[in-house]
Amino acid sequence: MKQIANIITLLNLCFGAIAIVFTLQTGETIVNLESGEWKIYFPEKITWAAICIFLAAVVDFFDGFVARLLKADSEMGKQLDSLADVVSFGVAPGAIIYQLLRLAFAADPSGMERSTYIFLPVLLIPMAAAWRLGRFNIDRSSRNHFLGLPAPAAGLFLASIPMIAFYNLFELQSLLINKWSLYAITIIISYLMVSKVALINLKFKNYSFKENTSRYILLLVSILSIIILGWLSAFAILFSYILVSLLFKKELK
């Protein structure tokens, strides 16, 4: 029984690995030339990879829940969870951004002639996730907040980008599949993960509104954003998460 939580954690890892496989299967024909204009051909398998990351996040939530339910918390489980998270919310999202960056450069007629060094910045994502999780593992303080953006939150945000672009929500595909946008997103998300910005921990010790005002506000904003914006809600939720954390900074101490 005590290994059930660890098996669920390994399922998280499996989803992350499958996401990487889907990302690698996007193929080489990434643009079509129509009427003298370059048009991005968006590989559907990138969206399958994104869905796998979302499934990994669901599993990641349940492994902790099951471990507490069965009173099976262990040091092994903690380390295994972090290793799985590095793959699912670090390496897999990094691979997705790499492919999106390839698409962005391919839209330029001379883009495929560029050096491979232009893709190196995406390595910041898995490295930042590993750093964030390693720091979390050795942190023995009992604070009521996160230091830096949690790797699962970062991974989910990055996984939402191909979904927005694939469905071209609000005509944002050309804006998102743009090298400068992707570089900016990579740097910002990586910085947030390794930073020591105090952010809300969504674990409720009790359900008092007074003691959990920031959490309730964030949950309300998140639900409304998902209903109204769909996949685009990832941007609204991330912005709200940081803004609410800053506004309720005293509550996080």
CATH code (residue 131): 1.20.120
What is the domain range of residue 118?
Answer: 4-138+145-196
Q: Is the pLDDT of residue 38 over 60?
A: no
pLDDT at 21: 95
Give me the mean pLDDT over the 142-150 stretch.
Answer: 83
Given 178, 196, 214, which residue is the final one in a domain? 196
Same domain, 18 and 79: yes
Please, how many CA atoms are within 13 Å of residue 167, restricted to the half-sphere of its CB? 11
For strands 31-34 and 145-147, give the pairing: unpaired
Residues 99 and 158 in one domain: yes
pLDDT(32) > 70: no
Question: Domain check: are 77 and 129 in the same one?
Answer: yes
165, 214: one domain = no
Q: Which range has highest mean pLDDT (143-147, 201-205, 212-216, 237-241)?
A: 237-241
Note whether 8 and 69 are same-domain residues. Answer: yes
Residues 206 and 116 in one domain: no
Examine the domain organization and report whether 173 and 188 are in the same domain. Answer: yes
Residue that the structure tokens 């990302």 belong to: 23
Q: Say whether both 11 and 127 belong to one domain.
A: yes
User: In the chain, what percentage of residues exceed pLDDT 70?
Assistant: 88
Same domain flag for 127 and 213 = no
**In this model, does residue 93 exceed pLDDT 90?**
yes
Last residue within a domain, chosen from 160, 177, 196: 196
Sequence-distant (6+) residues with CB within 8 A of 112 are 105, 106
- The pTM (predicted TM-score) of the whole model is 0.90
- Statement to judge: residues 75 and 107 lie in one domain: yes
pLDDT of 133: 93
Sign of the dihedral defined by the CA atoms of residues 17, 231, 221, 208, in that order: negative
Do 206 and 186 belong together in one domain? no
pLDDT band at 219 (very low <50, low <70, confident <90, very high): very high
How many domains is the chain partitioned into structurally? 2
Buried b (16+ CB within 10 A) or exposed e, 97-122: bbbbbbbbbbbeeebeeeeeeeeebb
Looking at the structure, do residues 118 and 242 belong to the same domain, yes or no?
no
CB contact at 8 A, 95 and 24: yes
Any alpha helices (H) in 28-123, and if so which ranges?
A: 44-69, 75-86, 92-106
